[in-house]
């Protein structure tokens, strides 16, 4: 029996959501290597960070990425 991909439901919800222009997207994350971590030169970088930045730049969408500690 074939099972759908675990994130397929999220994709369907996003595709069904009406799109509208926003001035800037504010993203929040935490430090978790290799997805996103502070580099020696103090910039936040990683696999997930690069992927999100690539997609948003191709869309022409302005964004900010804010890093919060896991314990809040």
Please report, for the chain, the start and end positions of each structural domain, with discontinuous segments joined by +.
Answer: 22-67
- Provide the phi-psi class of 49: left if phi over 0, else alpha when psi is between -120 and 50, else beta: alpha
Instruction: Provide the CA 49 distance to its chain's centre, in angstroms.
Output: 7
Band of the pLDDT at 23, cuts 50, 70, 90?
Answer: confident
Q: Cα separation of 57 and 55, whole Å? A: 6
pTM above 0.85, yes or no: no
**Residue 71: what pLDDT?**
82
Cβ neighbours of residue 45 closer than 8 Å, sequence gap 6 or more: 36, 37, 39
Q: What pLDDT, in 10s, does the model give residues 24-70?
A: 999 999 999 999 999 999 999 999 999 999 999 999 999 999 999 88
pLDDT above 60: residue 2: no
């Amino acid at each position: 029996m074939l099972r759908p991909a675990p994130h397929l439901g999220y994709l369907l919800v996003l595709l069904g959501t009406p799109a509208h222009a926003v001035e800037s997207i504010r993203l929040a994350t935490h430090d978790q290597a290799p997805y996103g971590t502070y580099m020696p030169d103090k910039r936040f970088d990683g696999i997930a960070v690069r992927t999100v930045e690539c997609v948003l730049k191709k869309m022409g969408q302005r964004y900010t990425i804010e890093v919060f500690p896991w314990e809040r």
